[in-house]
Every structure is written in C-alpha cells, then in structure tokens.
Structure 1
Amino acid sequence: MGISTARPERGIAVVTVDFPPVNALPVVGWHALADAVRAAGAEPAVNCVVLAAAGRGFNAGVDLKELQRPAGHAALVAVNRACAEAFSAVYDCPVPVVAAVHGHCLGGGIGLAGTADALVASDDAVFGLPELDRGALGAATHLARLVPQHLMRTLFFTSRTLTARELHGHGAIWRVVPRPELAGAALALAREIAAKDGVLLRLAKAALNGIDPVDVRRSYRYEQGFTFEATLAGAGDRHRDAFVSRHRGKEPS
C-alpha cells in the first residue's frame, strides 16, 4: 500500500499508486505521489515516467472521509494544496509522463490524467468529474485538456462519465487495450519516448509546457477557491456528508 517506484527498463521509471480499495488518496498520499514523480523525473537516466495504479481503478480522487473528520477548514485547505502539488508534479516533470489508466478515473484522477503527456487506457476505463455530486469544484482545468470545451461543460454539469473508447474518439488517448495488455502498452509507448535523446526530451517538455494556452496551475487553484466558497456556503459539507453516509460500510463506486 502506498506509492512505489520501479525501473523495469533502461530510461523508464514506473510510479504506481496503491491505496485500497479504490485509490481515493488521503493528503499524505497526494504528497507522496508528488514526491515520487519529482524524484523519478529528476534522475538523469530516466527519460520517461509511467504513472500507473494497482487495484480496482486508476484513481477515485480524494478521500472524502478524511475531510469529514476534523472541525473547521484545515482539512479542506490541506487537500486542496496536496492535489495541486501532485498535479503540478506530473505537469512539471522534466520528462514526459505516460498515464496508464484502468477502471475508474474520477475527480483527482482526471487531474492526473489531464496533466500527463500521454494516456494509454484499458477498455474498462471510465473518466469523469463527479465533483458537483460531492460538494466540490475543480479539475475542469484538466478535463478541458482531454475533451472539447462544450463537452467538458456538459460532463461537469451532469457528473456523467466517458468510456476509454469515447475519450479515444476525441483524440485524448493514444491506445485503448484489453486490461491484461495495459502495462505492456504503456511500457511500449514509454520505450519509444525514452529512446529519444534525453537532453532534447527535456527541452521539448519545457517548450510544450511553455506554449500551453492555459496556465494549468493558476487555473486549477482558481477553481479550488470556489470549492472553498461552496464549503463556506454549506453546500460542500452537505453533499460530502451525504456521499460518505451513502457509502459508509461499503466500498465507494
């Protein structure tokens, strides 16, 4: 359980998230993920990082139960900062990051997928932002990097999901493969990337980030301000409490 890093081949580091049952990360998990991605990207011998997950799905966002325990707003501030740090670590990784997505990719999972440089997904993967149903806002910044603007808004307002095949149709996913082939497909893409000149890869990553039309760090932090406002208005806690109550004693979907 936790975050682990492996180096299966020359030039490739695989960072794996494992927080059962559904990879809904606590604050410490988001920070650990950020640290692992930064460390892998800082290795001179690493030319590509693969971000993967163990268990039922890629990522189910934040651990909402952690938000409900303390009084006051310290927990929400901590979660906001931790998610922003993890997403920035993936986006700012000096080498390309390939996300290998299976099962659910929800909430914070969209933040990770949307800041990665390339996506490979299994055919059971589903992507979505159920934020409005859970008393939050955020990661529309990252969903907008995966789908066209009006579809992003429709998905956000409805909390609907897209399958990997549907997302592939919008050009966001490189390949969709059967679940048993996911690790191999992600490594194949990482291998092709890692074979390039490491100096040029790092320059290319910096250049591509530099020409992004939206500053993803500032945009996401702007969204988070509205999550905090929703909590102050009472709507945030109301929906988070309802979600946690519905799923108490059973695994969340």
Structure 2
Amino acid sequence: MEISTALHPDGTAEIAVDAPPVNALTADGWHRLAAAVEAAGAAPRTRAVLLRAEGRGFSAGVDIKEVQRGGGAALVEVNRGCAAAFAAVYACPAPVVAAVQGYCLGGGVGLAGSADVVLAAEDAYFALPEVDRGALGAATHLSRLVPGHLARAMVYTCRPATAAQLHAFGSVLEVVPPGRLREAALEVAGDIAAKDPEVVRRAKESLNGIDPVDPRRSYRFEQGFTFELGLNGAGDRLRDAFVGGGAHPDSGEG
C-alpha cells in the first residue's frame, strides 16, 4: 500500500492512494493518509491539494477483514483512522479537490464528502453499504453530496448514486471520461492555485466556519452506533457473512 505526494510547480500537492486490489485501507492506511494531507496543507508552498487514487475505483472504504481479525480494538483504531483522514481533508488549510473514478464506497464517500471540490469520471458511483455490513458512518459526508431524503434512502437500502446524479445536484463539479479525470482535476486545482494563497486559505477557513454542521463532530457521533452494533453482535454477524462470502468492491465501510 502506497500513499504518495508530489508537489507541482503551480503549488498543487497531488496525493495518490494506491492500495490494491480495491483501495480498501487498513487503520494504518487511514492514519497515513491523514498525515499526508496534514503535511501537504501545512507546507507554505501548497496552494491546493488534489486527492486521487490509482486503480479502477477511488475507494472501497475500510479493510473489513482487518476489523474482523482484530475485534473491538481494531474497530476502535479504524474508527479513529477514518475520523482523522476525513477531518484532515475537511480542515486542510488549502482547498482539496477530490478526483473520483469507479466505486466510491463507505470511507471513500467520507473523503469525497469532506473535500472542497469533487470531479468524477463517467463510471463513478457513490454508495454507503454500511447497513449491509453491520456498521454506520459517513452519512454525514453523503449528506454533503446528495439531498437529505436521497441520503436516507441510500443509507437504508445501500443503493448507489451515479456521478451524473451528483453533477445534477451540483456536488460534483465536472463529469469527464475516465482517461481525462486526473488532467481535469489538475486543471481545477491549478485554477485555485493561481489565486492569492492567503486569500484562498482565509476563504477555506471562512466557509468551514459557516457550515451549519461540523462534519468532524457529526461523524464521530455516527461512529458511536457502529461501536454499539459491534458490542451487541450485529456488526460481527454481518461482517462475518461478508468476509465468508469473499470480498467484493461493492462492500466498503467507513
């Protein structure tokens, strides 16, 4: 698993996640991603951040097999890792552009919903399979991407929404062919990077300050119910069924 950062001449810090086969991150992976975003945002030369992933999908969320092997302690640590990564994207002093291709599930929705700008490939789709996996979480971030009633339906049914749907809602800025996603995202990040960095950073701080809901606190509230489901056995029952049935990219958790 690799998380790499490259700083472009225009001040765009490009952070790429490459965790085959489906970009499902372990607790350590979420913490490393948080650290990479925090480091990029803290660097004076960074004017914008591009967050993207290698492979056919942006993120399949949490590595559920790690949770099942490690029990309650692993669940606590992955909860903390996800919270740290989402908070790092949301609170990054420089605006974050997320480039989403293929599946964006569970924790992937948490990342995209924490970003300032989202671009998506034509094949991208967004879903929270948590209810099928005995968990809850990232509804906070889904609600930043789709209207409230659709978010509820997506949580209850685990049904996906397409990039085209999110573009119609205005939460995805552009939908582009998969082969042009990185280029288009770098263009948008470059547009941001071309502005006065002090003004843009104050704009980011001011926009976060007027959010009606702080997603960092809201998400931690959600995570408490995941832990409750783990304690009462529902979480383990559904995750055991998932792990026993074989991994599938449509089964992320956040």
TM-score range relative to shorter protein: over 0.9
Structure 1 residue ranges, 4+ long, deviating more than 6 angstroms after superposition:
none
- The corresponding residue for 2:34 is 34
- The corresponding residue for 1:81 is 80
Matches within 5 A, 1:16-165: 16-71=16-71, 73-165=72-164
The count of corresponding residues between Structure 1 and Structure 2 is 250
Q: Deviations over 1:99-151 (max 9, x none)?
A: 00001100000000000000001001010100001110010000000011111
Between the two proteins, what is the percent identity of the paired residues? 62
Q: Deviations over 1:85-112 (max 9, x none)?
A: 0000000100100000001100000000
CA contact (8 A) 2:10 2:194 kept: no
Helix, strand or coil for the counterpart of 2:111?
helix
Helix, strand or coil for the counterpart of 1:66?
helix
Looking at structure 1, the residues matched to 63 and 33 of structure 2 have their Cα atoms a distance apart, in angstroms, of 14
Question: Which structure is richer in relative contact order (CA contacts within 8 A, separation 6 or more)?
Answer: 2
Structure 1 unpaired stretches of 5+: none
- The corresponding residue for 1:5 is 5
User: Which amino acid in structure 2 is aligned with residue 243 of structure 1?
Assistant: F
How much has 1:70 moved relative to structure 2? 2.5
How much has 1:167 moved relative to structure 2? 1.1
CA contact (8 A) 2:99 2:181 kept: yes
TM-score by structure 1 length? 0.97
- The corresponding residue for 1:202 is 201
User: Which amino acid in structure 2 is aligned with residue 174 of structure 1?
Assistant: L
How much has 1:9 moved relative to structure 2? 3.2
- The corresponding residue for 1:166 is 165
How much has 1:11 moved relative to structure 2? 1.1
The two structures, once aligned, show a CA RMSD in angstroms of: 0.9
Q: Deviations over 1:40-65 (max 9, x none)?
A: 11111111000000012101100000
- The corresponding residue for 1:180 is 179
Looking at structure 2, the residues matched to 120 and 77 of structure 1 have their Cα atoms a distance apart, in angstroms, of 31
Looking at structure 1, the residues matched to 9 and 25 of structure 2 have their Cα atoms a distance apart, in angstroms, of 28
